[in-house]
Amino acid sequence: MILNISGRTDIVAFYSEWLMKRLEEGFIDVRNPFNPKMISRIMLDDVDLLFFCTKNPIPIINKLKDIKKKVYFHITLTAYKKDIEPNVPSKKEIIEAVKKLSKIIGKENIVIRYDPIFINDKYTLEYHVKAFDKLCNLLDGYIDKILISFIDEYKNAKNNYQVLKYKKLTENDYKIIGESFSRSAKKHDIVVHTCAEEKNLTEYGFIKDECMSKELAFKLTGKVYKKWQARKNVPCQCIEMADIGVYNSCKHFCKYCYANYDEKQVNNNYSNHNPNSSLLIGELEKDDIIKIRKIREL
């Protein structure tokens, strides 16, 4: 089993103390977001890999020595400022953290996510081209791969349109991104790839590759997992993972986020977090139904 930590919230940034306690106790409980009385219990003995997705790896770096499982990181590092990402630490801090992390776990176990890309009057195409080139330069030798994606009109993005004011990308915009990003990455021996994007930019040298493909999962764990059953018309081919996060619980408050769409609920959830609970948010209740979750390899 591979744990996704997490596509629903930034556990590393805000809940790393809780995570370390769960790893120590040997199990994690996850409330089903669509059927709240159903609890999936994940036994750490069944876990082969911890797949961390975060905007801020700093809180977990010094704890890695106490984690006995293999780890793999996706770290989102964009060029947006506080108007878009209000509570994300400075990019300088995150870049230094990536360098430190790379020395500990190896650059082959880190992917930088430059996503989502959108343009407006402030964050222009030229702005992104320069920012991406600078990112490649600063992380030369510390990473092998950068994943990019483009903004999707999730509920939160639509609600924050007056802040984001994103414009529709033209074919020429995609061409400029493809050519310039490829050029910048190539100078530093970095591969650029997309996952589940309609515009995959392979014609400009990008690699179309899943965030966690069957091939990568096998390389990291020695096991073959089935692909995730994505929603209809969603071109994701990632393998099935167990996400231990909770929607509406990330305090970064990024204006484009798909996992947050109610800031009041985020604050409520955060206040209901108990580092000693087996659940990320709240406590087990008497009428909860607990079932051991298994994700079996093929």
Q: Where are the domains of the chain?
A: 2-292
Q: Which of 77, 22, 71 is nearest to 51 (CA)?
A: 71
**pLDDT value at position 91?**
96
Q: Is the pLDDT of residue 35 over 90?
A: yes
Q: Is the pLDDT of residue 179 over 70?
A: yes
Q: Enumerate long-range contacts of 23-28, CB under 8 Å, 24 or more apart.
A: 23/66, 23/67, 23/69, 25/278, 27/278, 28/3, 28/244, 28/278
pLDDT range class, residue 60, cuts 50, 70, 90: very high
**pLDDT value at position 85?**
98
**pLDDT value at position 210?**
84
Question: What is d(CA 149, CA 167) in angstroms, rounded to the nearest whole number?
Answer: 15
* 184 and 139 Cβ atoms separated by less than 8 Å: no
Question: What is d(CA 156, CA 110) in angstroms, rounded to the nearest whole number?
Answer: 28
* 211 and 74 Cβ atoms separated by less than 8 Å: yes
Q: Strand order in 110-117's β-sheet?
A: 207-208, 191-194, 145-150, 110-117, 70-76, 49-54, 2-5, 242-243
Tens-place pLDDT, residues 188-226: 999 999 987 888 999 999 998 888 989 999 999 999 988
* 224 and 217 Cβ atoms separated by less than 8 Å: yes
Q: Is the pLDDT of residue 158 over 80?
A: yes
Question: What is d(CA 208, CA 108) in angstroms, rounded to the nearest whole number?
Answer: 18
**pLDDT value at position 234?**
54
Exposure string over 40-77, b if 16+ CB within 10 A, otherwise e: bebebeebbbbbbbbbbbbbbbeeeeeeeeebbbbbbb
Q: Is the pLDDT of residue 108 over 60?
A: yes
Q: Enumerate long-range contacts of 26-31, CB under 8 Å, 24 or more apart.
A: 27/278, 28/3, 28/244, 28/278, 29/278, 29/279, 29/284, 29/290, 30/242, 30/243, 30/244, 30/279, 30/280, 30/293, 31/246, 31/279, 31/281, 31/282, 31/288
Question: What is d(CA 43, CA 30) in angstroms, rounded to the nearest whole number?
Answer: 11
* Mean pLDDT (whole number) for 131-158: 95
Sign of CA dihedral 168, 137, 212, 46: negative
* Mean pLDDT (whole number) for 149-174: 94
Q: Is the pLDDT of residue 123 over 80?
A: yes
Q: Please state, as a whole number, how many other Cβ atoms lie within 10 Å of the Cβ of residue 109.
A: 17
pLDDT range class, residue 33, cuts 50, 70, 90: confident
Pairing relationship of beta strands 70-76 and 191-194 according to DSSP bridges: unpaired
Using alpha carbons, list the distances in angstroms from residue 199 to 41, 128, 169, 195: 38, 17, 11, 10
pLDDT range class, residue 236, cuts 50, 70, 90: low
Tens-place pLDDT, residues 180-198: 999 999 999 999 999 878 8
Using alpha carbons, list the distances in angstroms from residue 34 to 31, 45, 137, 206: 9, 26, 43, 36
pLDDT range class, residue 298, cuts 50, 70, 90: low
Percent of the chain scored above 90 by pLDDT?
Answer: 87
Lowest mean pLDDT among 62-66, 94-98, 151-155: 151-155
Tens-place pLDDT, residues 64-75: 999 999 999 999
**pLDDT value at position 195?**
86
pTM above 0.85, yes or no: yes
Average pLDDT over the chain reads: 94
Both structure tokens of 80? 């947006």
pLDDT range class, residue 237, cuts 50, 70, 90: confident
**pLDDT value at position 238?**
82
Distance of CA 207 to the CA centre of its chain: 19
* 238 and 195 Cβ atoms separated by less than 8 Å: yes
